[in-house]
Chain A
Amino acid sequence: MLQYLSILLDDTSVAYCHADNPLTERYLIPLETLRKAILFGMKENLMIQYVYPDYELQEEYNALIESIDHVKIGRDVVVYNEVPKKITAENAVLRLSIADFIAKQYDIAVLLPQIARLNICLTDIETFKDEQIEEYQKALTTLNTVLLDQYKSGNRPQLSILTDRLQLKEMHNCGAGDTNIIVAPNGKFYLCPAFYYDEQTGINNRLNHHNPTSERSVGDLENGLQIPNPQLLKLDRAPLCRICDAYQCNRCIWLNQKLTWDINTPSHQQCVIAHLERNATRDLQRKLFDAGFAIENEIKEITYLDPFDVRKNIN
């Protein structure tokens, strides 16, 4: 069931997830389109998230934006594309390549005492090689060490890839097209911003094959949402994910269709990274337990990093 509507205020709105925004020319959402998008969100009872560009908007936009409860991505939620010296926002997103994440693990660790919540977003998951497993594990261990100290001293900073799984008892993923939907400045719906970027840059379209252009929208504000095969965005139609307990995984459907060509099937890379994080969370959980913290949600030991390797009798 849809819960969130994200409105891209401009073509150059900040990228806040795996995919970079390749669009460099400003195109501000027309005021009337913004009004219709807000109306849609109100009628569908959706929580609205505005995704901001890096420039200030005119007053008439601000007035409209403030007409409804919302979150401002790129304002309330600050997005960093490199590791900052200091984070002042309560809620931030740090977008990094895997190599940078590994190289800057100590710089990230320094930030942890400053934040309430930091979402880590890796921007090149498709390039991950099994040879990087050890390095990635080590970086997670570094961050765990600081998180443990923080917990011991009474702070509870949230680092998405390590602390979310401590609480989660079921899948809590990106939800593109299922719990979340995007409106772009052109007034069309997209499953997530990455599909809009692909369309705008003419990247080959494997999702909406009937359209020979790179059209990737799933409806528009005039005619409503028209998601083809919406059932494939649900967990129960994802054979690998529904048997998986790396509950913090983004389950990025954009990466799925890009790497496996099927929207409900995760790539080896996404599964391995999610399991390295899950297992690191387990380590953190055990250390917290040893330090006297109560554990309600025990993470079990498993022997695999990719559920594909342990799928059984499903084919």
Chain B
Amino acid sequence: MKDEGLVVREGNKGWQEGRAKNITFIVTKDCQLACKYCYLVGKNVQERMSWEIAKAAIDFVLNREDDPDFDYPSVIWDFIGGEPFLEIDLIEKICDYIKTELFSRNHRWFNSYRFSFSTNGINYDSEKVQRFIEKNKEHLSIGITIDGTQRKHDLNRVYKNSERGSYADVARNIPLWLEQFPGAGTKVTISSADIPYICESVLHLYKLGIRQVNINCVFEDVWSEDDDKLFEDQLILLADAIIDEDLYRGYSCSFFQEHLGHPMDCVYDNQNWCGAGKMLAVDAAGNFYPCTRFAQYSLRDKEAWIIGNIRDGIDKNKLRPFLTLDRCTQSTLECVNCEVAQGCAWCQGENFDAAKTHTVFERSTAICKMHKARVRANNYYWNKLYRKLEKS
């Protein structure tokens, strides 16, 4: 769509995509919410990161400027939980220390860093969070998760213990968030129960002023028999609304992408989907993981894949499977030969958790029928949009 690039809004690319080392601090495993689709099966209030662990992790990373695994021009310091902003005091101290150390060490990352957050948005307007934002505004990437209409959001995103929906407490912070980060996008998660609300939810988020909706189905094996048909119907409704109301000009929804649903080549198109193993996550115990999804609180059936810790460093043997992963080696023959493979995602952590053996080389295919439904709706979307643009 190059010729029409001015009229069709494309989704934002990630900052320094592929050029930034991602360091993730699991600052807490606690959250105000107990979302029903959450993959974090081991949340708890005890595992909160201490300043000593955080500082040691930062020192460990910054002392590795010559290590090829840390040889990136940029860095993203990612903070997750649970809910990261529950630990705003610690986060502020961490960020202050990082900035000071990068500068005093003349580290190359001083010229190219971001602090990134994925938050439930509940305490976004608190004084402490706002003070932190003010201090670090130019280096922040903050995503607030709001799942759509109140009925969809509150179906899954409920307070722990009370089961009360959190929509109202999140929605009130959206205007402030968008004022501070006008281009920000939200992340919407689809599980089986909320398929009927996809269309209304995306449109609702557009109405709230969120121009970029990143949306995906959960990777776990949760889908019922006709979910793919319901899903396809919802996406067709959404496609009609976006096109008929000319919303494609100013808004994007990640379900609809131009290059999606084509066969893929095992030589030229063989990359792994995500950066597991290239990123480094650290938790409250000071243990390192290839991605947060390999920490114990994320795993149902498997032991955590700990690759080292702040004291002993990284056991690089434990990273070798991740750094040699490619698409075809971990895929079934059906996936390799799939006619609509392009854009079919997987989560390395879910693959590992669902695998029959202790491996990251067994791709979970629970999402297969949902991807195929998405491809059909996506084809419909682009065919309809091309036709409209040709006529206009």
Contacts and interface: CB of A to CB of B under 8 A. Distances in A.
A209 B320 contact: no
Interface stretch (B73-81, B247-255, B352-360): B352-360
Contact of A237 (B277, B316, B355, B361): B361
Contacts of B272: 315
Contact of A207 (B316, B357, B360): B357
Contact of B356 (A229, A239, A240, A269): A229
A262 B361 CA distance: 8
Q: Which of A206, A232, A262, A267 gathers the greatest number of chain B CB atoms within 10 Å?
A: A262
A263 B321 CA distance: 9
A261 B355 contact: no
A267 B317 contact: yes
Given A260-B317, A260-B320, A315-B324, A239 B360 contact: no
A114 interface: no
Contacts, number: 82
A237 B359 CA distance: 12
A207 B358 contact: yes
A268 interface: yes
Given A209-B302, A261-B305, A315 B317 contact: no
A260 B360 CA distance: 11
A229 B271 contact: no
A83 to B, nearest CB: 30
A315 B325 contact: yes
B320 A257 contact: no
Contacts of A267: 317, 320
Q: Which of A210, A261, A267 gathers the greatest number of chain B CB atoms within 10 Å?
A: A261
Q: Which of B271, B318, B320, B321 gathers the greatest number of chain A CB atoms within 10 Å?
A: B320
A112 B326 CA distance: 44
B323 interface: yes
B355 to A, nearest CB: 7
Interface in B322-352: 322-326, 329
Q: Which of B270, B317, B326 gathers the greatest number of chain A CB atoms within 10 Å?
A: B317
A269 to B, nearest CB: 8
Contacts of A260: 317-318, 320-321
A230 to B, nearest CB: 10
A119 interface: no
Contact of A209 (B278, B301, B321, B324): B301
B30 interface: no
A233 to B, nearest CB: 10
A229 B320 contact: no
A264 B317 contact: no
Given A237-B361, A262-B361, A267-B317, A308 B356 contact: no
A209 B358 contact: yes
Given A232-B361, A260-B318, A261-B358, A308 B329 contact: no
A261 B357 contact: no
Interface residues of B, number: 28
Contact of A268 (B302, B303, B317, B360): B317
Interface string A226-250: 0011001000010110000000000
Given A267-B317, A315-B323, A239 B329 contact: yes
A206 B358 CA distance: 6
Contacts of B326: 239, 314-315
A311 B324 contact: yes
Contacts of B283: none
Nearest to A227: B357
A285 interface: no
A268 B322 CA distance: 14
A200 B318 CA distance: 25
Given A229-B357, A232-B357, A268 B321 contact: no
A264 B359 contact: yes
A13 to B, nearest CB: 26
List the 8 closest A-B pairs by CB distance, nearest first.
Answer: A262-B321, A239-B324, A228-B356, A206-B358, A265-B321, A229-B357, A267-B317, A259-B317
Given A206-B358, A229-B357, 14 more contacts: A208-B357, A209-B303, A209-B357, A229-B359, A239-B329, A260-B317, A261-B305, A262-B361, A265-B324, A267-B317, A308-B324, A311-B323, A311-B324, A315-B324
15 contacts: A206-B358, A209-B303, A209-B357, A229-B357, A229-B361, A229-B362, A232-B361, A239-B324, A259-B317, A260-B321, A261-B305, A261-B318, A264-B359, A311-B323, A315-B326
Interface of B: 270-272, 277-278, 301-303, 305, 316-318, 320-326, 329, 355-362
